[in-house]
Every structure is written in C-alpha cells, then in structure tokens.
Amino acid sequence: MQTQLRTTTCGALRPDNVGQTVTLCGWADTVRDHGGVMFIDLRDRTGLTQVLCDPTEVPAEIWQAVQTVRPEYVLQVTGRVEARPADMVNAKLATGGIEVRSHHITVLNRSATPPFPLDDKEAERVSDELRMTYRYLDLRRPAMQRNLRRRHAVTQAVRAYLDSQDFTEIETPILTKSTPEGARDYLVPSRTVPGTCFALPQAPQQYKQLLMVAGCDRYYQIARCFRDEDLRADRQPEFTQIDLEMSFITPEDIYALVDGLIAAAFVAAGHPAPTLPLPRLTYAEALDRYGSDKPDLRFALPLVNVGEIFAATQFQVFGRVLAGGGVIKALNGKGLAGAPIRIMDDWTAMAKDAGLGGLAYIRVQEDGAWKSPIVKFFSDAEKDALRAALDIAAGDLILFAADDAAVVNTALGRLRLLAAAQAGVIDPAAFALTWVTDFPLFEADAEGGLQAMHHPFTAPCRADAERLESEPLSLRAQAYDVVLNGVELGGGSIRIHEAAYQRRLFAALGMPAAEYEDRFGHLLRALEYGAPPHGGLALGLDRLMMLLGGADSIREMIAFPKNQKAMDLMMNAPAAVSERQLRDLGLRFLAAAPSE
C-alpha cells in the first residue's frame, strides 16, 4: 500500500527490515511520554508499529510538536527500522521485534478527544447508540476493521465460486413496484408521475425469475433488500442477500451448489469447511423433533412425543388434550432438576405466552425420586414408559406440554433453547448447518384464509400439485431453508414456470383475477413466453457474517447500521425535507416531524 505519503504500513515491518529508512502514516494509538524519550504506537488498519522519538535526534520544533500529540492524531513518521533489544521485544505485536527510530514526524491532523475509548475491549461495553453516532470512530477499531475485511473476503469468495459455476452477476432495480402481500414496503414517491410511488425491493424475486425467462440461465447478485418491519438483533430494514437463480434444475441442484457456496464462505472467513453434503431435515421432522423450522442442532435435546404413553391416562389435563386431537410432548433437561424457581417461573411465563395453559414438569432428585405436582396421576406403567422414552436419570428436569401440535411445538421449541442455554450444552465455537426441506406451500392466515408460506411463486411438490383447490393446506412446496445454529440463513424454492398454474395459485390464495392480472400481469405474461423450469435461493449475508464472526448482532457486520427505530444516528436519517421537495412530489404530511 505504498503511496506518495508512505513507503509501508504499520503492520508490515519485521526484523528483516532492520536498517531500512521508512515512512509510515497512521493514527497515534497510545503515547508514552518519558520526558526524555517518547514512544508512539502508530496504528493503521494493518497493525501497530512502535515509533521512538528522541529529542537528541529530531529538530527542536519537531520535538515540540510531538509533545502535543494525543491519541487519534494523524501522523507521518520517517525513521530507521531498528531491532529491539532482546528483553524489549513485544511478543504481543506482530511488529514487536522492531521499532522505528524517527528523525522526522509530521502531524497530518489533530483529533478531538474521542467520545469513547477506541479500544476493542472497552468499546464492546459502550452503548450501541454512542458507537453508531460516531460510527467512523467505532470502525477504526481493529475488531471492526476485521469484520469489514472478513465480509469483503467472503463476498469475494462467493463471487469467485459462483463465477466458477458459470453464474452471471446482474444488477436489478432499486426503484421498483410494491408487492403488498409480503413485508411492509419502503415507498419512494414519483415526481414525474404524480400520485404514484416506487417501492424499494424486499428481494429481487420477480426480476430474477424474469432473468430466467430471458435465458440468463444462472444469475446472482449481492443484493440490497428493504423491509419496513420492526427490527431485531438479526434484522435491519436494509440488508444484503446473496441472491441466485438457476434454470433447468431440481432442488438437488440447489443443494449441491449452495453446499459448495457455504463451504467457500466458511473457508474465506477462516473456518474449516463444513462436512458436505450438509444434512437435511424435512419441515415436518424439524417441527416434530425440535419444535422449530430453524432448529439449533449444536445440541440434541429432542422433543419426545409421549402421547401414546398417556393414551389411557387418569390425568384429566392430558386426557382432554388427547381426546381433542392434541399432542403431548416432553423434553428432558439433563441435569436441570435444580433449576431455580425464578427460572421455572420465567419458563412458565414463556410457555403461557406461547399459548400453553401451564408448564408441567418433573424434577428428578438425586435419590431418583420424582418431585412433581402431576406425577401422582401417573400409573407405574406410564412412569416406566416415560423413563424409557426420555432416558430419565437422577438430576433431570422433564418438561411437558399438552395442547394443539402447533402450540406444543412453539412452546417446547423455545423451552428447548432456554434449557440448552441453562444447561450450558451449547458449544459457542460449533457450527451446525442443516437444510430444512419440504415446507408447506400454504399456511392459514389470521382471518382463516390461505397465505403462501414462502412466496406465491413457489411450486408445490409434483405429487401434490393437483390438490391445490381441494386440500391446499396439504400441499408440500419445493421450498427449502438453510439453517445455521438455529438462525435462518436463507431459503428458496423451485418456482412455478407455467402461467396457468400460477393463475390457479393466485386464485387459490383468494385473489380475484382482476387483482392478480393487475399486480402480477408482467410475470404471468412472461411465463407465457417459454419460461424454463427454474428456482433459486437467497442467503442473508449479514447473518452469515454474524454467525461466522461469533457476533450477537448483524449490526457488527454492517458498516453503517440503523438503530432499533430504523434511524441512522450518524447521518441523522430519516429527516424532515423542505416544503419545496414535498411540493415537487405533490405530498403533504399528516404528521409533523419531531422537533429537536
């Protein structure tokens, strides 16, 4: 990175360079003033180099100037590389074997006192609010520099991999059309067509399908997506997907391709490649066994269906549920019998929040005795069967849920995660990847209607396709997710490539013909002109980087993220705009902007 202002970087010098005269540029990291001699650790993104300044070796005015140097001042230093005496080598620094004995130092810029310490350990404890307000300082920290560099390495590897698989990177519009059945759209009012709005894309979904119709065969894009929904630690209103689509494929082609893509990303991020092929789980299996369509497989802790054991139970609560077509499942929290009351209260509250009437449990004491408010209703045969089914031993905590399958799975699925965390069985360094396949095509929406589980362009499994109108909720989709450590990394599907079936599907969703022709006419028309069978997938790049980097929020992996109210605290966006701008757009606000 040699330039007119420097000959080398702050992370580059080694004992081999001793004797060379070099010029470095960077930020003063720490300044150690001994009166008669000064040490300045000079930092750039590549590392730290110790600069020594001796008043007998620099002009007086430079010595004067150096006295004023504070952390984050920007310096240009020229000097000779010298070996450090053996007892002064700093093993913690890559450059610790040498130092630069300066004979000229220029203060390129001064710095105000930083609002928070630019030290990786200290800064991690500083509020996100401050870090985001001064994001350019936060990003100066080595840890954040590493995150940015690692993200770059992964996107480079993704591009190289997809290029090797004959993909073409194609950009699609940011100003596009609203498709209101997904997330809430971000809207951009049009000046040239008054009274209308563009929407920012929630995903390049329709464009990439149209690129398949166009014969592109294999498309990808590192695509920015926008969804105006409430934020989470792993959800930002704008985020990045590795978006791809292929023609003439089945799901097997996607699995094989994406397995390789993920392996390339792991390696680029400095991790061992996962064992391929990645394991697969059907949606039905995932829900049954783990209570979630994005199971964390870093640990087992399976949900066990104990309905048969209680087929003839005397326990009214269980009996009523079974008679009503519900299910009874249990999970064995190994070693959690001693879980404090406070924890159990939290878990019970969570179970109720998930829809359960209450949380039944058995604490298995050290002497093997079962302590539980419900066990008195169990017969000896039921107890024996339970013991065998759940591998019950001293110290275990057995949790029961009895209700509709959906409620039971939700509640126990969440409890499974809490119990694993409480038991400390999650290896934070582990990576557990899985495909989840065969999602349902539809789910019931709040009003009892149908809603596409993935999106309305998803093709059903061929065997199911003709039950579209008769038993829509029974249709499995050719849809799949990739899950890493209990986080949905991404997903996709084989798409409907026949206009007639796409119309049938819109109709099955309860959409009048006039409506789907209006909203999706462009896609339907395209499908009429020889659309190839095609499908694809999108991976959340921010989430992938978060998991690969061991971070607890995707904000750590985004240069300029937004806070929980979707504001950019550094730029102060969103912000009020001028009357003139609004007039041009033909807009008037009903709400006033908050005043400062």
Give residues in contact with RNA (CB under 7 A). Answer: 30, 32-37, 39, 41, 50, 52, 54, 56, 70-71, 84-85, 88-90, 92-93, 96, 99, 113, 115-117, 122, 125-130, 132, 179, 181-184, 202-203, 205, 227, 229-235, 353, 446, 451-456, 553, 555, 563-565, 567, 594
Say how many Å lie between the first and final Cα of the chain, rounded.
44
Name the nearest CA neighbour of 556 among 55, 46, 150: 150
Q: Cα separation of 531 and 486, whole Å?
A: 36
Instruction: Give the shortest CB-20-to-RNA separation in angstroms.
Output: 17
Q: Minimum CB separation from RNA for residue 201, in Å?
A: 8
CB of 54 to RNA, least distance (A): 6
Q: How far apart are CA 280 and CA 251, in angstroms?
A: 12
Three-state SS string over 307-333 comes to CHHHCCCCCHHHHHHHHCCCEEEEEEE
CB closer to RNA, 33 vs 169: 33
Q: Where are the alpha helices (DSSP H) in 374-461?
A: 380-390, 405-423
Q: What is the distance between the alpha carbons of residues 53 and 68, in angstroms, rounded to a whole number?
A: 13
Sheet arrangement for strand 370-371: 304-305, 327-333, 397-403, 360-364, 370-371
Task: Work out how close the CB of 468 gets to RNA at its nearest, in angstroms, rounded to a whole number.
Answer: 16
Phi and psi angles of residue 573, each rounded to the nearest 5 degrees, phi first: -110, 150
From the CB of 436, what's the least distance to RNA, in Å? 15
> With respect to RNA, which residue has the nearer C-beta, 19 or 272?
19
Least distance to RNA, CB of residue 345, Å? 12
Residue with smaller CB distance to RNA, 62 or 203: 203
Give the residue with the Cβ less far from RNA, 36 or 215: 36
Other CB atoms within a 10 A radius of the CB of residue 152 amount to: 11
CB closer to RNA, 94 vs 256:
94
- Smaller CB distance to RNA: residue 34 or 580? 34
d(CA 28, CA 41): 6
Complex with RNA: residue 315 or 442, whichever CB lies closer: 442
Element (H, E) at 252: helix 251-268
Least separation, in Å, of the C-beta of 441 and RNA? 10
Residue 510 CB, nearest distance to RNA (Å)? 13
**What is the rounded CA–CA span in Å between residue 414 and residue 291?**
8
Q: Which residues, 6 or more positions from 65, have their beta carbon under 8 angstroms from its beta carbon?
A: 105, 107
Q: Which is nearer to RNA, 114 or 307 (CB)?
A: 114
Q: Of 543, 540, 574, give the one whose Cα is nearest residue 224.
A: 540
| Tokens found for residue 255 | 């699995």
